[in-house]
Amino acid sequence: MYLVSHPDEVKVISFRFGQGAEQIDKYIELGGYEQARRAIDMGPEAIINEVKASNLRGRGGAGFPTGLKWSFVPKGMDRPKYILVNGDESEPGTCKDRPICEYDPHSIIEGTIIAGLAVGAKQGFIYMRGEYRYLLDIMDKCIADAYAKGFLGKNIFGIEGLDFDCMSHSGAGAYEVGEESALMESLEGKRGVPRIRPPFPAVVGLYGGPTVINNVETIASVPHVLRLGGAEYAKIGTDRNGGTRLFGISGHVEKPGVYELPMGYSLRKAIYEVAGGIKGGKKLKAVVPGGSSTPVLKADEIDVGMDFDQLAKAGTMLGSAGIVVLDETVSIVEFALRTIKFYQHESCGWCIPCREGTDWLKKTITRVYQGNGVSKDLDNIKYLAENMMGRTFCPLGDAAAMPTIGFITKFRDEFEAFLSENPPTPGLVLQQAPNLVQLAAH
């Protein structure tokens, strides 16, 4: 991993990146832990109000207003409350939590403390996907340093009776575990199967206690919200979409990387200016704007501001802000197949429409891609995906269905080409990964 930068960037969360802020003294020198200290004096209500005013919305994907989420936690319950930081980052096209964990890990701890103060929790967990072992090690060192400085543990910041504990936790490879209720199951040592809602985690969560679950980036943004003040933070973004986001721009661009841009920034500019345009001067074919779950945009649909509302209006989603850029050479069928293969592999298997639906989608698209499709397959792909939409136990089913519907509606001609007399030759997905074929036919 390495850092990139562009003049259009507004460095709020990333301002300490590359300055050695993983060392606690450096972090403190750069203003670290000041906001946590200040939050103690502010008190829960003022913190929540400030976060509400900031228009900070969840960076995990769904974009739920963070302040509102915190306000759902019942006051004065006798069950212990928890803050659970979601560092499971597994959505394909997404790699934005990683730099925070690597370059500014203390901001996550500080954000966790502030969230704890806001809702009355005394314990925070930072759940890291198992693959991020080196980040877990960094995080563990930071947590130990924060304990040593008295920012964590008993009587934090020297305030008698004010306790807050925080620890990291490693996952072991499962995308679905990023879903908040499955995340709690996983942290409780179980299979990553989501829970029935209601009750919502804010009321009955981890170990039965009220639990706030936030994405790493959301939590890391919190100290900055307090630093700048809610209103100022909100101003950086657009209406109802406060602040900045870390956009990961990957795929066929000249300068892929994670860039911090204000909410509402133009997708076209992000691709052509910030990321240096299409690699090798090729033509743009399509963009997946917010991680693999978000429906594809065609080349002529990219004049859109990147915030939750504008992208929703454009028929897609901001999601995890992982922009994946596809040039003209990409076979959409191949891309759709790789996408559905992922969801088929990651479906937890709990509910029928997702477990069987992703499996049949993968099988059917594989067959089409191999040139063995039949004409009703294309309608059937759409029919299958539509039957999944809104009917699965958790949003993973939607996450698999939505992009599929997008591909087959917007690029139906490419699918049809595979049904023709002279189908295109399948690319590497099939040629070089026989496993995929085997898996698909199993």
Ligand X SMILES: Cc1cc2nc3c(=O)[nH]c(=O)nc-3n(C[C@H](O)[C@H](O)[C@H](O)COP(=O)(O)O)c2cc1C
Binding site for ligand X (CB under 6 A): 58-62, 64, 86, 88-91, 176, 178-180, 213-215, 218, 394-396, 399
Of the candidates 60, 67, 251, 397, which one interacts with ligand SF4 according to CB under 6 A? 397
Binders of ligand SF4 among residues 162 to 201 (CB under 6 A) are 176, 194
Q: CB within 8 A of 241, min separation 6: which ones?
A: 55, 57, 63, 263, 264, 307, 308, 309
Task: Tell the smallest beta-carbon distance from residue 441 to ligand SF4 (Å).
Answer: 22
**3-class SS of residue 247:** strand
Cβ(214)–Cβ(115) below 8 Å: yes
Q: Which of 305, 277, 260 is nearest to 96 (CA)?
A: 260
Cβ-based burial of 122 (10 A; exposed 0-12, middle 13-18, buried ≥19) = middle
Task: Tell the smallest beta-carbon distance from residue 348 to ligand SF4 (Å).
Answer: 3
Binders of ligand SF4 among residues 313 to 352 (CB under 6 A) are 347-351
Q: Which residue lies nearer to ligand X by CB, 121 or 378?
A: 121
Cβ(218)–Cβ(60) below 8 Å: yes
Q: Does 403 bind ligand SF4 (CB under 6 A)?
A: no
Backbone φ and ψ for 90, nearest 5 degrees, come out as: -135, 0
Cβ-based burial of 133 (10 A; exposed 0-12, middle 13-18, buried ≥19) = exposed
By CB under 8 A, which span of 15-23, 109-117, 225-233, 430-438 interacts with another protein?
Answer: 430-438
Structure tokens at 30: 């750069």
Length of the chain measured in residues: 442
Q: Does 288 bind another protein (CB under 8 A)?
A: yes
Task: Tell the smallest beta-carbon distance from residue 393 to ligand SF4 (Å).
Answer: 3
Cβ(291)–Cβ(92) below 8 Å: yes
Rounded-to-integer distance, Cα 118 and Cα 219, Å:
12
Q: CB within 8 A of 22, min separation 6: which ones?
A: 102, 103, 104, 105, 106, 138, 141, 142
Residue 310: count other Cβ atoms within 10 Å of its Cβ.
19
The option from ligand SF4, ligand X, another protein, none interacting with 213 (CB < 5 to 8 A, set by class) reads ligand X
Q: Which residue lies nearer to ligand X by CB, 291 or 406?
A: 291
Q: Which residue lies nearer to ligand X by CB, 70 or 259?
A: 70
Q: Does 221 bind ligand SF4 (CB under 6 A)?
A: no
Q: Are strands 257-262 and 244-251 parallel, antiparallel or unpaired?
A: antiparallel
Binders of another protein among residues 39 to 58 (CB under 8 A) are none
The option from ligand X, ligand SF4, another protein, none interacting with 58 (CB < 5 to 8 A, set by class) reads ligand X
Q: Does 298 bind another protein (CB under 8 A)?
A: no
Number of residues that bind ligand SF4 (CB under 6 A): 14
**Which residues pair with residue 212 across a beta bridge?**
83
Task: Tell the smallest beta-carbon distance from residue 2 to another protein (Å).
Answer: 7
The option from ligand SF4, ligand X, another protein, none interacting with 262 (CB < 5 to 8 A, set by class) reads none
Rounded-to-integer distance, Cα 384 and Cα 386, Å:
5
**DSSP one-letter code for 294:** S
Binders of another protein among residues 332 to 361 (CB under 8 A) are 335, 338-339, 342, 344-353, 355-360
Q: Does 272 bind ligand SF4 (CB under 6 A)?
A: no
Beta strands in 284-387 (DSSP E): 284-288, 297-298, 305-306, 322-327
Q: CB within 8 A of 100, min separation 6: which ones?
A: 13, 107, 108, 216, 217, 220, 246
The option from ligand X, another protein, ligand SF4, none interacting with 59 (CB < 5 to 8 A, set by class) reads ligand X
Q: Which residue lies nearer to another protein by CB, 311 or 324?
A: 324
Q: Does 363 bind ligand SF4 (CB under 6 A)?
A: no
Tell me whether the omega of the peptide bond preceding residue 210 falls within 30 degrees of 0, making it cis.
Answer: no
Measured from each CB, the residue nearest to ligand SF4 is 354
The option from ligand SF4, another protein, ligand X, none interacting with 375 (CB < 5 to 8 A, set by class) reads none
Query: Tokens 């209720």 correspond to what residue?
Result: 181
Q: Which residue lies nearer to ligand X by CB, 213 or 378?
A: 213
Q: Does 314 bind another protein (CB under 8 A)?
A: no
Of the candidates 72, 159, 298, 383, which one interacts with another protein according to CB under 8 A? 383
State the residues that interact with ligand SF4 by CB under 6 A.
176, 194, 347-351, 354-355, 392-394, 396-397
